Amino acid sequence: MSAPPDIPAVQTVDLSRVYGSMVALSSLNLTINRGDLFGFIGSNGAGKTTTLRILATFLTPSSGRAEVLGYDVVRDADRVRHLIGYMPDFFGVYKDMEVTEYLDFFGACYKIPTAQREKTVADVLELVGLSEKKGSLIGSLSRGMQQRLGLARVLIHDPQLLLLDEPASGLDPRARIEMMAILQELQRMGKTIIISSHILSELQTLCNRCCIIERGKLIYSGPIKGAQTQLADVRAFWVRVGSPLVTARDLLAARPETYSVEVTDDRLKVVLANSSSDPSYIPETLVNAGVRLLEFREDEIGLEEVFLRVTKGETQ
C-alpha cells in the first residue's frame, strides 16, 4: 500500500552512527520530499555512504531514527526493503550469466510471479537501454552497460525510492550522460532518487534539491539554487559596455559598494563588497556617466565552487 502523499520519502531525526571512537554521522536531520532528485554531496568520509546504508537497512543507527515513506528502517526493515532500490558504488555481477538470467534471478528473489517476470525483465531492460543485450553474457558488457544493468536490477521490483551511491563512477562522458538521462526519466515516472556523486557539475543540472555534509554533520539542505545563493559569500556581475572598458572600470572601482573590478576579454567582472548590497548601482553609475550598457548579469556560482567555500576538506 502506498504511503499518504504528505509523508516525505525520507526523514531522519538526530540520526547518528558511531564506529568505536569515530563519529560517522552526527545528529543528521534531513527531509527528502517525494519526487525529488536529490543530490547527496560530501567528501570521501563525510558520511554519505553510511547514511545510504542506514536507509537501505544494512546498518542500524547508533542513535536517532530514520524513516522511509513513513516506515522506520529498524522496526519496519522488511517493509522498507520492498520500497527501496539500493545501488552501491561497487556491486558484484555474475559475469558468466546472461543479462536476462541475472535479472530473472533477482525477480525471483523479490517473489515476482514467474508468468510476470519475463515482461518485467523486458520492461526494465528497455528503460535502461539494454534490450539489445538481453542475451549477452554480463562479462562481455562495457563498464557503462554493467552500471545500467545494476540500475535495472534495483528497478526489478518497482521501488518507490532509489538510493544510488556513485552510479556514474568510472564511466566515460557518454556513459555518464546516458546514465543521467535515465535518472531524469525515472524522476518523470514519479520515482524519488537520492544520488551520491563527486561530479558536482552534473548534480547541479540534474537535481532539484541537495544536501552538503562534512564529517557527518549537515551543512546545507534545500534547493540547488538555494545552495548557490545562501552559501556563497560573494556576489559577482558581468558587465559589457559600448565605451572603453577602462572608463567603466574606473567608474565602478570608485564606488564603495565595489570590492573589485577585473577586465576579462571584452567584459568586466564586478565583485560586490557586501553580498547583500543592491547591485543596481552598477547600471545606474554607468548610465549616469553616459556609458552605453550592453550586458549586465549576475555570475552564477557553480555548485563546485559553493562546495569548496563551505567545506574545509576534513575527513573522519
pLDDT digits (tens, 9 = 90+) for 71-83: 999 999 999 999 9
Average pLDDT over residues 74-96: 90
pLDDT of residue 3: 60
pLDDT of residue 311: 76
pLDDT of residue 171: 83
Domains of the chain: 10-230 (3.40.50.300), 236-300 (3.30.70.100)
CA atoms within 13 A on the CB side of 77: 10
Average pLDDT over residues 62-72: 96
Alpha helix segments (H runs only) across the chain: 48-55, 77-83, 99-109, 114-127, 143-155, 173-188, 200-206, 224-230, 245-253, 281-288, 303-310
Instruction: Work out the pLDDT band at 228, boundaries 50, 70, 90.
Output: low
Percent of the chain scored above 90 by pLDDT? 66
pLDDT digits (tens, 9 = 90+) for 20-56: 889 999 999 999 999 999 999 888 888 999 999 999 9
Instruction: Work out the pLDDT band at 176, boundaries 50, 70, 90.
Output: confident
pLDDT of residue 184: 93
Residue 216, number of CB atoms within 10 A of its CB: 24
pTM of the model: 0.80
Describe the strand order of the beta sheet including 71-72 as a list of residue ranges: 22-32, 10-19, 63-68, 71-72
pLDDT of residue 6: 77
Average pLDDT over residues 293-304: 85
Least confident of 44-53, 54-63, 91-100: 91-100
